[in-house]
Amino acid sequence: MRAHIFGMCAAAGFFVSGGASAEGDIALGQYLSSECVTCHQLSGKSVGAIPPIVGWPSDQFIAVVDSYRKKERDNEVMQTISARLSDEEISALAAYFGSLKAPDE
């Protein structure tokens, strides 16, 4: 599946801009992200217990959110939030956050 290859490339950084629609809708992801960024920083910095979620490869992002949704990962806030998301919405969020550049630590 081509989408999978794009996901791996996203790990390298920013150059996804043209190609990411192959897996998730960036515009939809940006729209949905307004809820997420009340906690997660767009700058990619961590704040207290809230980890950064930008610049991840899509497949990894999707797997993690899905594991909250299935309650395999234990965090009540993220379980509640992810339970409301469809597969399509999670892919869209993965595409959007994956397209943002993580800062150099």
Nearest distance, CB of residue 8 and ligand HEC, angstroms: 17
Q: Which is nearer to ligand HEC, 26 or 53 (CB)?
A: 53
Nearest to 72 by CA among 62, 80, 61, 64: 64
Binding mask 76-95 for ligand HEC (x = CB under 6 A): -xx--x-----------x--
**CA 56, CA 34: separation in Å to the nearest integer?**
18
CA dist 35 and 22 (Å) reads 24
Site residues for ligand HEC, 16-75, by CB under 6 A, read: 35-36, 38-40, 49-51, 53, 61, 64-65, 73, 75
CB of 91 vs ligand HEC, minimal distance in Å: 11
Min. distance of Cβ 87 from ligand HEC in angstroms? 13
Residue with tokens 């993220």: 78
